[in-house]
Amino acid sequence: MTRQFSTEVRSIVEPLLIDLGFVLDGVEVFDEGGIPGTVVYYRSSDCKIQIYKSSRQGSINCMIAPLSADNEFCHRDPSSERQFITKFTPTPHVPLEELVKSVSYKSRPDNELLKDVRDRIAEYYNDAHAGILAKYGGG
C-alpha cells in the first residue's frame, strides 16, 4: 500500500513539482496507532512540499513549509510551520447550499485524489509560495 502510494505520487504529482523547481527529498512510512500512513517530501531552493496519505485521518493532501522545516509528517509536528496549500488564497464566498451540493461521500481511488492534489497545487502554489516566504522567509 505505502509503496504504491509513493509511486502514484511520483507519477501524478511529481512532474508538476519538478516544473516548479522541486526535487524528491524523501519518503516516510509512519504508524498512526497501527494504521500505516505515507508522506512524500519535496524541496525547492526556498520551500518544501509534502504529499501525504493519512489512513487514520482518511485523507490525501499536501502542505507547504519553509525550507527550514524538518521532514516531519504534518500531523505529528507541533511547530505549525506547515500550511495547507490553499491557506494563503482568499476564499470566495460560496453559499452554503452550493457547498453542500459539492460534497460527496463516495469513496474515490488514491490516483483520483492525487489528481485533485496536483490540480490544487497548480492553482494555489503561487499564493502559497509567496505566503510561506512572507511568513517564514526563504532558505
**Under a CB-based contact definition with an 8 Å cutoff, are residues 61 and 37 in contact?**
no
29-50 pLDDT per residue, tens? 887 778 888 999 999 999 999 9
Q: For residue range 69-123, what is the model confidence (pLDDT) as tens digits?
A: 888 876 666 667 888 899 888 777 767 777 666 666 677 888 999 999 999 999 9
Q: How far is CA 97 from CA 24, 53, 90, 91, 104, in A?
A: 40, 29, 20, 16, 14
* Strand-pair partners of 19: none
Domain ranges of the chain: 2-136
Return the C-alpha cell found at 56.
Answer: 487514520
